[in-house]
Structure 1
């Protein structure tokens, strides 16, 4: 009887989500955000290792020991697509707010609350966890390694919130302007041995490039096919040239022990690679729209978007919980606690990914409500109401 109820409930949920979606909603935009989130999650799970050694745990990366895995960073470093979608949604949202007569302060305040309410939950949980680990005598290096995994991705939310707040100023800025800033910053700090601190200008300028592209997309200034081809070919060609002839790393994420990271802070190579990704995203729009016409596929994308920030904030915690639980129960095992220095580790890690995903689903069940509270989520899943659907998947 329980199985019958489950089979009945699932189609009902799909129907309610389909009925609650406005006909003019561009579902492909939500799909791009979902793909970007999944890229970040899978990328972190694949290139992050927690190595158990003499009673301590420290971080390591398979990219350091197996450079042949570098293409993994090309597939899963998808932040540019997230900022592209963020720029489109931010520009359209601000334009809609102005049309309704809503003040800038109220608009940016509502978006900031939606963005950071889930952060409060993960902060509180990890503050308690750190205190418990310290009181239990866990080695400080282990605490720092675990904390770094959880807190380091939060820079992304700070940058996104800053760009969102600046939307009225940057919405009509041509992407070539921040791209020129990144070019000159890299020229001075890398070509002329300028201060390394100059690179932090690129944290804003680098991600402003795809954000401004998204704003231009919202204004209807981008052609899905033509602009997509230009960005894909131009960005890929520029990135290849920078890697082959200008000394930039081939990996699009940081590699421990490397002399230069493409992501910390963003380099010109990371930005041009992001442009190529944005081009590929635009080229995918038509195919995504056709696929998302299927109610079941759209429901899956919609549900992931409803918990996008929860998934982003808790995916490292899910990996840490699995890693720690297995370590205490069974000791060091391949793919979780061993040095990521060979194909055996890769195969073992792939086998652990479904376990990480299950732990993440549990985290979503426990903490997803902080993202979907009144004013921060959608009523689509709960009531099928159309009234708040336009707000449901904003980030």
Structure 2
């Protein structure tokens, strides 16, 4: 199974080539698929996982749990969020993949409705097992007398990242519109919303318009990338340095938060809803992705590296859905065993020692996530038999 690639990355060279050849044809063909796109998606998944694991703290306090962040107590660590906030890369890659997928579907005679329905099914079907597990867990915890506030905090921690799927689904359905829309238009809409919200004391709800328009900017850039309109080096470096300069200016002189993730208790968040600073930061990330795409293609000619990227892509949805559950499972399970709040796990993240301890817990979170992958990868998703047949067909063709 391709899911086992990451765990056997250190095997001998023949085994690496075997794993590479076992990759499904949909991921194995260099002519049909740009491996840099898959590498960027894997990077985005890694950023989400590490971001949540590093900037989220479930604090145990007198038999209850509450969620906070080390960035609340250690604001000088805000630059860490610049590396871990990778949502713009998701939408950038998503725009390219969607427009290419829709083009192939159109060539086969499939209409937009049929194509969009298939994409929505693939996007939302894997949520069913998570919904079932956490519904049962919440009922069980409440039945055993758990504090309702603690149960709510844990359930919210799992479900809060699901906003991404809703926005991504809406933009996917609107791909024909995105294909005709220049990203400058949604960027201007974000700027206007922020001007009304912050500069003219407009109603706070107006900022939520940016939940659509803000992520439409990298999505539209992904559409342009698919059409070859971002291939020039000037465009790539202009996005990178222009976006970075604009973000720095907004943070230094316009009062936007330095953190690119939400911080509990902060008066303004760059993510809920997205601000102009978050969008310009996304422009810089898109530029960096374009600059790195060439070197990534060359690196991924190596079978072992490509096997890891393929494994991450084939498990991306499961990783995204279950990584918070893995962290919570370790946090809750260890507390009664330890008999006290442990640094980096249950304690208040108020000093650098907590950060060091949290880094030491990351391998344990990873093992718990591996257990979730083993239990839930592929569940709620059709086509496992078809995928195996596709692998065999690809092997016979070689």
TM range (shorter): over 0.9
> In the comparison of the two structures, how many residue pairs are matched?
383
Deviation at 1:234, TM superposition (A): 0.5
Give the match's secondary structure for 2:23: helix
Over the aligned positions, Cα root-mean-square deviation in angstroms equals 2.0
Give the match's secondary structure for 1:252: coil
* Alignment equivalent of 1:316, drawn from 314, 324, 329: 324
Give the match's secondary structure for 2:273: coil
What is the distance in 1 between the residues matched to 2:67 and 2:272? 17
Q: 1:140 to 1:264 in 2, by over 3 A?
A: same
* Alignment equivalent of 2:19, drawn from 3, 13, 16: 13
Q: Does 1:336 align with 2:345?
A: yes
What is the distance in 1 between the residues matched to 2:386 and 2:50? 24
Give the match's secondary structure for 2:29: coil
User: Could you give the per-residue CA deviations for residues 12-53 of structure 1, whole angstroms, max 9, x where no partner exists?
Assistant: 222222877123121000000000010010000000000000
**TM-score normalised by structure 1 residue count:** 0.93
- Partner in structure 1 of residue 127 of structure 2: 119
User: Could you give the per-residue CA deviations for residues 65-122 of structure 1, whole angstroms, max 9, x where no partner exists?
Assistant: 0011101110000000000000000111111111111121211111111111111111
- Partner in structure 2 of residue 106 of structure 1: 114
- Partner in structure 2 of residue 236 of structure 1: 244
- Partner in structure 2 of residue 350 of structure 1: 359
- Partner in structure 2 of residue 174 of structure 1: 182
* Alignment equivalent of 1:325, drawn from 317, 325, 333: 333
Q: Does 1:23 align with 2:30?
A: yes
Q: Does 1:139 align with 2:163?
A: no
* Alignment equivalent of 2:368, drawn from 359, 370, 390: 359
Deviation at 1:190, TM superposition (A): 0.6
* Alignment equivalent of 1:157, drawn from 137, 155, 165: 165
What is the distance in 2 between the residues matched to 1:168 and 1:373? 26
* Alignment equivalent of 1:51, drawn from 44, 51, 59: 59
What is the distance in 2 between the residues matched to 1:362 and 1:295? 25
Deviation at 1:329, TM superposition (A): 1.1
Deviation at 1:9, TM superposition (A): 6.0
What is the distance in 2 between the residues matched to 1:215 and 1:350? 37
Give the match's secondary structure for 1:70: helix
Q: Is the Cα contact below 8 Å between 1:371 and 1:377 reproduced in 2? A: no
**TM-score normalised by structure 2 residue count:** 0.92
Q: Is the Cα contact below 8 Å between 2:24 and 2:394 reproduced in 1? A: no
What is the distance in 2 between the residues matched to 1:376 and 1:158? 28
What is the distance in 2 between the residues matched to 1:383 and 1:144? 46
Q: Does 1:254 align with 2:257?
A: no
Q: Is the Cα contact below 8 Å between 2:42 and 2:313 reproduced in 1? A: yes
Q: 1:279 to 1:384 in 2, by over 3 A?
A: farther
Unpaired runs of 5+ in structure 2?
A: 1-7
Unpaired runs of 5+ in structure 1?
A: 388-395
Q: 1:172 to 1:138 in 2, by over 3 A?
A: same
Give the match's secondary structure for 2:373: helix
Q: Is the Cα contact below 8 Å between 1:17 and 1:381 reproduced in 2? A: no
What is the distance in 1 between the residues matched to 2:182 and 2:263? 32
Deviates more, 1:147-156 or 1:163-172: 163-172
Q: Is the Cα contact below 8 Å between 1:181 and 1:205 reproduced in 2? A: yes
Q: 1:381 to 1:128 in 2, by over 3 A?
A: farther
Give the match's secondary structure for 1:385: helix
Q: Does 1:291 align with 2:338?
A: no
Give the match's secondary structure for 2:65: strand
User: Could you give the per-residue CA deviations for residues 208-234 of structure 1, whole angstroms, max 9, x where no partner exists?
Assistant: 000000001111111253222001110
Give the match's secondary structure for 1:159: helix
Deviates more, 1:322-331 or 1:367-376: 367-376
Q: Is the Cα contact below 8 Å between 1:224 and 1:282 reproduced in 2? A: no
